[in-house]
Structure 1
Amino acid sequence: MRKKEKSTFRKIEHHRTETFFLIVRGLEVGVVAGLVSALYRFLLSKAESANHAVLTAIAGKPLYIALFLAALAGIGYLVSQLVRWQPLSSSSGIPQITGEIRGHLDAPWWQVLLAKIAGGTLSILSGLSLGREGPSIQLGGMAAKGIAKVTKADKTTQLRMISCGGGAGLAAAFNAPLAGMMFTLEEIHKTLDGNILCMGIVSTITADYISKLFFGQNTVFHYTTADIPLKSYWILLLLGIVLGLAGVGYNALMLLGQKWIGKIKAPVRMMLVFVCSGVLGLFVPQLLGGGHTMVTLLLQEHPTIKILILLLLGKFLFSLLSFASGAPGGIFFPLLILGTYLGAIYAEAAIAWFGLAPELWQELVVVSMAGFFAAIVRAPMTGIILVFEMTGNLDSLLPLAVVSLTSYTLADLLGSTPIYTALLENLLRPEDKAAARRNRPGEKVLKTYVLPLGSALDGKCIKDIDWGRHCLIVSIERGDTAVTPKGDTTLHAGDTLVVMVSQRRFARDNDRLEALIDPKS
């Protein structure tokens, strides 16, 4: 008992003087997450090239085509067994990391790394319409968890490292360190935590540097944009509305597709989707993979609006099938590609109907990526920063903000659940939550909460709030001042609360505290 008390006291004291410690941990996380994500990116690049080479070689040869489709069925079965061995390696990986951070999951890091890398590579080798970005976030988080386990980090540090590892994985996948950091705060944590910010900046920059050592410093997309006249910004508002509606429809259909296709047994489901990929590859190879081919087609050949619509529908349906199969791979990059095609279709219509200057069509294509992302993921700041870093064009910042905030607001008003929130709810089964709680030791965890404007706790004394039996307010950070919490201490909007909870009850207490602080509750 005394040993536990000393450990708890050291944890509280360590919290007060840990900036250097956070920087060191950030470097560790950035290195391992960057290396793992770079490896995954390299393997997927080779796998996509191999798929293209095979499709070219077997074209017009019925016997080879039959053998190819049979091989795809076999690969589909193999991937289903990998997912069966480690279920948390399936699909995107972002909900799994969020569940880990919130205390609902406790994934075996090395199994997830092996299954995700192998399964994701085989899926792209087979041509499935899946992205590398969601898996890179999970791989970065699990690599960070591995380092935390090896170095015997306490649970608080481990959770921070997993969070920052996820952001570092995204930074390495997109060459976008700021977006990786923002995604960690806006989507995974949904709050501004100074400790996460400190460690995360170091880890994402480090991972981005490592990625650029291997893949160069070029941006992901190479668009030529022009300034939209201020008098034409109503066209951007209308685009935001279109993207908001499209995002709501995307979320609903993806979740419905996952529900219905998920009723088919996993081996059969994956074998069918993998064979379907082979058939599509023989006729419409542009639909395969994450979507880089579709971007090249859009920029170099400028397809007609009819072709744009057909490719948009085809990419959406195949992405739905690929994701609903449960194969390792994400929807992050494919949804950005869908956003570009929605923008291209809208641009063609705006040029024909509204007299928009033809040279502005690429500007609408660029901002549509961020707007569609904001409506689906409900993380507008991440979308704005991500597209800026992917294109390297700061001139589009205002149009990006207008379109993203419009689509975000409309999706929120329509009550659409953010896609990764909905996927996390589908992922968490009662038996998984119970098993995670049973497997946790009785260690204490420090969790940071920022008191927002409009919270019911604003202006209340600590003693007047029901925190629960297992929560202890360790400190209150008010600006640059650390306030020692007492019963009669009054809380104010903007306060950063550092709360100690039991690891065994972390998921339950964390959910309750978030609901307590939330202004909407």
Structure 2
Amino acid sequence: MGNNYKLLTDNYFENILVVFKSLLIGLAAGGVVVLYRITLTYAEQFAFGMYGFLKENLEFIPLVLLLLCMAACFLGFLVSKDGMISGSGIPQLEGMLRGYFGKRKSWLHTLCSKFLGGTIAIGGGLSLGREGPSIQLGACVAEGLGKKIGKGRLEKKILMASGASAGLAAAFNAPMAGVIFALEEIFKYFSPVILLSMMSAAVAADFVSKQVFGLAPIFNFEITQGMPLNSYWILVILGILLGGMGAFYNYVLLKTKMLYGKMKSLNTTIKIMIPFVMAGILGIIFPVVLGGGHRIIEELTLENGIGFLVIVFIIKFIFSMVSFGSGAPGGIFFPLIILGAAIGAIFAKIAIEYLGFDQELFNNFIIFAMAGYFTAIVRAPITGIVLIMEMTGSFTHILPLTVVAVTAYIVADLLKSPPVYEALLADLICKENSEEKEESHKKIVVELIVRHGSEFENLQVKDINWPGKSLLVGVKQGDRVIIPKGDTEIKVGDYLTVLTDINSECRIKEILNEMNEPL
């Protein structure tokens, strides 16, 4: 506990040391994720090559179906042995940082199984992304190194979040998006040491990635002009559409997961076999929707009609739901961005053909829709804006991107659509053993920053109803650390350090976070 407390106070040497450790984490995580990207590239090429051959040689259909079923069986075996590799890995990481999933396989087992499982899924053509697994792989690397170089649980968690930041940075050549996503979605708050640690890891991983893949952005959209200011009204309409579509995406995804869960008669292998068989069918009749979605980007042109783009969106949407809902290792991050791009292309076609907008704005609408759809689903607007700017290499759209993202966020929130990763984490927690655990002799600290309008604001310590099995041991106001007394007054922006036992960590965090919500 002492090491954790030092990290939150004035031990500047320890803080600087954590930043350098994060730099090392970034280099290691970047190397692993770069290898994962290369492997997935070959896996996707294999999938398209296999289905291209099959389309010309239909007599091999039974052989390919047998191969797909064998791949599904092996993947089902991996998932049944290590449930932490199922899905994207982001909810699992968030849960681990909050104190859940204490009984799990080692970091090395998860890393190897996720790496292999994600490769098999993409090799089969499933509609899954690399970003979630890359984030989890980065965190696994950080967890492994953290056991050697980390001091205390809090420092190890910072290193894991830094590894996650590095994973996203290396996956998309997007270092700032990696930092912001880790802060906005995973860690939920930041202090200078957390911010600098994540930035160091992300920049180091991005450096490794660019050494291999070059400086070019992920997407290469040709932008010849910006959105006229007198046309911003249509961005609000686009944002409203994306907010509604994002809420629908979350609803269908959670219902699909629930439907798979109700199939008690089907084991993990059979469930994973469903998208593999579907991939085999689509590989013959409509291969453009296979994999993460890079091939779809090539089809988003003015030459293709609205009907074709709608069909692409619908089939990709359904295939993505079936793929992710099965529990196969792989993310939703990239596929949902591709779906957003498809919505943007459809919207652009309508705006150009029926509302008189300039054809040169076609790619602009695609970029705006990517950010808006991501924001509506994940509910991380800053990440969405920065990610799309880094992925497209265009930094001239911050104002229209913000208009679309904020509008989409508000609409999705009004529709009471839960952020997708929060909902998926809640589902995982429900599956975990919820029985009350005995108090452990091992103590840890929980930190939070007092927010405006919370139950803590302007109250004395003695007047706050602290949860059982917890003790306030430190209050940091600016650069000043206070040993709390009964008459110590809590202010907005204070860092509170609460002591609890390791088995009560999850419950204490939940209660304190509820108390810290604005009234």
TM-score, normalization by structure 2 = 0.94
What are the equivalent positions in structure 2 for 1:334-373 lying under 5 Å apart? Answer: 334-373=335-374
C-alpha contact 1:185 1:193 (8 A) present in aligned 2: no
Q: Per the alignment, do residues 206 and 445 of structure 1 end up closer, same or farther by CA in structure 2, a change over 3 Å counting? A: farther
Q: Classify the secondary structure of the residue corresponding to 1:105.
A: coil
Bigger drift between 140-149 and 331-340 goes to: 140-149
Check if 1:12 corresponds to 2:5: yes
1:175 aligned residue: 173
Q: Classify the secondary structure of the residue corresponding to 2:396.
A: helix
1:141 aligned residue: 139
C-alpha contact 1:193 1:448 (8 A) present in aligned 2: no
- Rounded to whole Å, the distance in 2 between the matches of 1:419 and 1:441 is 33
C-alpha contact 2:114 2:329 (8 A) present in aligned 1: yes
- Rounded to whole Å, the distance in 2 between the matches of 1:432 and 1:470 is 20
Q: Classify the secondary structure of the residue corresponding to 1:326.
A: coil
- Rounded to whole Å, the distance in 1 between the matches of 2:253 and 2:4 is 43
Bigger drift between 155-164 and 313-322 goes to: 155-164
1:462 aligned residue: 461
- Rounded to whole Å, the distance in 2 between the matches of 1:169 and 1:357 is 38
- Rounded to whole Å, the distance in 2 between the matches of 1:232 and 1:306 is 25
C-alpha contact 1:243 1:371 (8 A) present in aligned 2: yes
Check if 1:325 corresponds to 2:323: no
- Rounded to whole Å, the distance in 2 between the matches of 1:285 and 1:9 is 56
- Rounded to whole Å, the distance in 2 between the matches of 1:479 and 1:150 is 32
What are the equivalent positions in structure 2 for 1:93-492 lying under 5 Å apart? Answer: 93-106=89-102, 107=104, 108-151=106-149, 153-225=151-223, 226-262=225-261, 263=263, 264-299=266-301, 302-429=303-430, 431-433=432-434, 442-492=441-491
- Rounded to whole Å, the distance in 2 between the matches of 1:152 and 1:395 is 40
- Give the residue type in structure 2 aligned to 1:96: Q
Check if 1:73 corresponds to 2:69: yes
Q: Classify the secondary structure of the residue corresponding to 2:190.
A: coil
Q: Per the alignment, do residues 69 and 360 of structure 1 end up closer, same or farther by CA in structure 2, a change over 3 Å counting? A: same
Q: Classify the secondary structure of the residue corresponding to 2:444.
A: strand
Q: What 5-or-longer segments of structure 1 have no aligned partner?
A: 1-7
1:3 aligned residue: none
Q: CA deviation at 1:431?
A: 4.2
* 1:462-517 CA distance string (max 9 Å, x none): 22112234333343333344444332222222222233332221111111111111
Q: CA deviation at 1:351?
A: 1.7
Q: CA deviation at 1:207?
A: 1.1
- Rounded to whole Å, the distance in 1 between the matches of 2:4 and 2:340 is 46
- Rounded to whole Å, the distance in 2 between the matches of 1:297 and 1:159 is 42
Bigger drift between 75-84 and 478-487 goes to: 478-487
- Rounded to whole Å, the distance in 1 between the matches of 2:313 and 2:237 is 20
Q: CA deviation at 1:413?
A: 1.2
Bigger drift between 197-206 and 236-245 goes to: 197-206
- Rounded to whole Å, the distance in 2 between the matches of 1:407 and 1:49 is 35
TM-score, normalization by structure 1 = 0.94
2:18 aligned residue: 22
Q: CA deviation at 1:139?
A: 1.0
* 1:385-420 CA distance string (max 9 Å, x none): 111111121110001100000000111111111111
Q: CA deviation at 1:426?
A: 1.2
- Give the residue type in structure 1 aligned to 2:245: A
Q: CA deviation at 1:14?
A: 5.0
- Rounded to whole Å, the distance in 1 between the matches of 2:7 and 2:244 is 48
- Give the residue type in structure 2 aligned to 1:337: I
* 1:347-404 CA distance string (max 9 Å, x none): 1111233222221121111011110011001111110111111112111000110000
- Rounded to whole Å, the distance in 2 between the matches of 1:421 and 1:415 is 13
C-alpha contact 1:104 1:433 (8 A) present in aligned 2: no
- Rounded to whole Å, the distance in 1 between the matches of 2:163 and 2:61 is 41
C-alpha contact 2:474 2:496 (8 A) present in aligned 1: yes
C-alpha contact 2:21 2:149 (8 A) present in aligned 1: no
Q: CA deviation at 1:448?
A: 2.7
Q: Per the alignment, do residues 224 and 499 of structure 1 end up closer, same or farther by CA in structure 2, a change over 3 Å counting? A: farther
Q: CA deviation at 1:228?
A: 0.9
2:516 aligned residue: 517
- Give the residue type in structure 1 aligned to 2:421: Y
Q: Classify the secondary structure of the residue corresponding to 1:497.
A: strand
* 1:135-182 CA distance string (max 9 Å, x none): 111111111111112346321112111122111111111111111111
Q: Per the alignment, do residues 14 and 122 of structure 1 end up closer, same or farther by CA in structure 2, a change over 3 Å counting? A: closer
Aligned residues: 510
Q: Classify the secondary structure of the residue corresponding to 1:362.
A: helix
- Rounded to whole Å, the distance in 1 between the matches of 2:286 and 2:164 is 33
* 1:274-317 CA distance string (max 9 Å, x none): 12101111121110000011112225x74111110000001000
Q: CA deviation at 1:192?
A: 2.9
- Rounded to whole Å, the distance in 1 between the matches of 2:4 and 2:46 is 51
- Give the residue type in structure 1 aligned to 2:281: V
Identity score, percent: 39
Q: CA deviation at 1:193?
A: 3.4
